[in-house]
Amino acid sequence: MAWPGAAPERIGRLSNRTMALENTAELTVERPPYDIVAPVRHSLPLVLSSPHSGRDYPADLLATTRLDLAALRQSEDSFVDEIFSAAPDLGAPLIRANFPRVYCDPNREPFELDPAMFADRLPGHVNTTSLRVAGGLGTIPRVVSAGGEIYRDKLVFAEAERRVATLYRPYHQALAGLIEATRAGFGAALLLDCHSMPSVGGPMDRDQGTPRPDIILGDRYGTSCDPALSADIEEIVRDLGYRVCRNAPYAGGYTTVHYGRPEMAVHGLQIEINRALYMNERTIERLPALRVLAADMARLIRRVGEVVVDRLPLTG
Higher-confidence position of 12 and 199: 199
The DSSP result for 44-112, as a single string, is SSEEEEETT---B--HHHHHHBSS-HHHHHTTS-TTHHHHTTTHHHHT--EEEE-S-TTT--TTS-TTB
Q: What is the CATH class of 8-100+166-311? A: alpha beta
Distance CA 141, CA 132 (A): 9
Is pLDDT above 90 for 146?
Answer: no
Q: Could you tell me what percent of the chain has a pLDDT over 90?
A: 84
* Residue-range domain boundaries for the chain: 8-100+166-311
Residue pLDDT, tens place only, 164-185: 999 999 999 999 999 999 999 9
**Residue 209: its pLDDT value, please?**
83
Chain mean pLDDT for the chain: 91
Residue pLDDT, tens place only, 203-241: 777 788 889 999 999 999 999 999 999 999 999 999 999
Is pLDDT above 50 for 91?
Answer: yes
pLDDT band for position 65 (cuts 50, 70, 90)? very high
pLDDT band for position 201 (cuts 50, 70, 90)? confident
pLDDT band for position 25 (cuts 50, 70, 90)? low
Which stretches does DSSP call E strand in the chain?
13-15, 34-37, 46-50, 94-97, 189-197, 215-218, 244-246, 266-274, 279-280, 285-286
CA distances 188 to 117, 174, 179, 181, Å, are: 41, 18, 9, 10
Residue pLDDT, tens place only, 74-85: 999 999 999 999
